[in-house]
Amino acid sequence: MTADQDEAAARAGLVRWGRSLFERGLTPGSSGNISVRLADGYLVTPTNSCLGFLDAGRLSRLDAGGRHVAGDAPTKELPLHFAFYEARPAARAVVHLHATHATALSCLADVDPADAIPPITPYVVMRVGRVPVVPYTRPGSADVAPLIRAKAPDHPAILLANHGPVVAGASLDAAIFAMEELEETARLVLITRGMAVRHLSPAEIADLEATFTLKG
């Protein structure tokens, strides 16, 4: 695939997945942002754009140094995205949503900051891994970058306190699938909150981690 074909496919994927996420209520209004790393730069959803109505030709195009070179102005959350790319060289996409259940978990004072998503299903271990919570920063602030860089090398998914989830993946599809798994597991965690939940054992988790390597 040529660089132009790769970019065209990435643009189409961003529009397709943005619409799907919005129509399923996974990020409301103009919330959420997605980026894809290309061979020579990045494609990013524009600032104040609704993911359900993206225009492939107006997506923000950045060069390899992160400078805006074409399309509409990019999301203000670029520090968040670039921190993930710096910390995870294999990552090819970063997805940040305001998904209801994962965002609810990010607001709770008693979740484990080292792992906010308990291992209640094998798929959250296989596709998401342990999910730490980083302290609150103002949306768009560069202050989030060192917090992400400290956690992202070991964690492809992170909760931003009082803000929501962000996930990196080896492809756009992989990042979306992991985000969906995170949100669904957060829903299960909240539904079963206060119940006697059976978690996967350390041995079961170790077996999954040894068998299914998280990428991106």
Q: 97 and 199 share a domain?
A: yes
Q: How far apart are CA 48 and CA 27, in angstroms?
A: 13
The low-confidence residues of the chain, meaning pLDDT below 50, are: none
Confidence (pLDDT) at 173: 97
CATH number, domain with residue 53 = 3.40.225.10
Q: 109 and 172 share a domain?
A: yes
Could you say which of 16, 51, 75 is where a domain stops?
Answer: 75
Determine how many CB atoms are found less than 10 A away from the CB of residue 3: 11
**Strands 133-134 and 33-38, sheet pairing:** unpaired
Kindly report the average pLDDT of the chain as a whole number: 95
Confidence (pLDDT) at 1: 63
Q: 19 and 88 share a domain?
A: no
Q: 89 and 150 share a domain?
A: yes
Residue 35, strand partner residues: 44, 94
Residue with tokens 């860089």: 149
Q: 133 and 51 share a domain?
A: no
- What are the CA-CA distances from residue 96 to residues 1, 120, 180 (Å)? 27, 23, 11
Q: 84 and 68 share a domain?
A: no
Q: 83 and 188 share a domain?
A: yes
Q: Tell me which residue range forms the domain holding 93.
A: 78-216
Domain count, the chain: 2
Could you say which of 75, 93, 124 is where a domain stops?
Answer: 75
Of 84, 48, 90, the closest CA to residue 66 belongs to 84
Q: 70 and 107 share a domain?
A: no
Which residues are known to be catalytic?
A: 77, 123
Could you say which of 60, 75, 90 is where a domain stops?
Answer: 75
Q: 108 and 201 share a domain?
A: yes
pTM: 0.94
Q: 110 and 156 share a domain?
A: yes
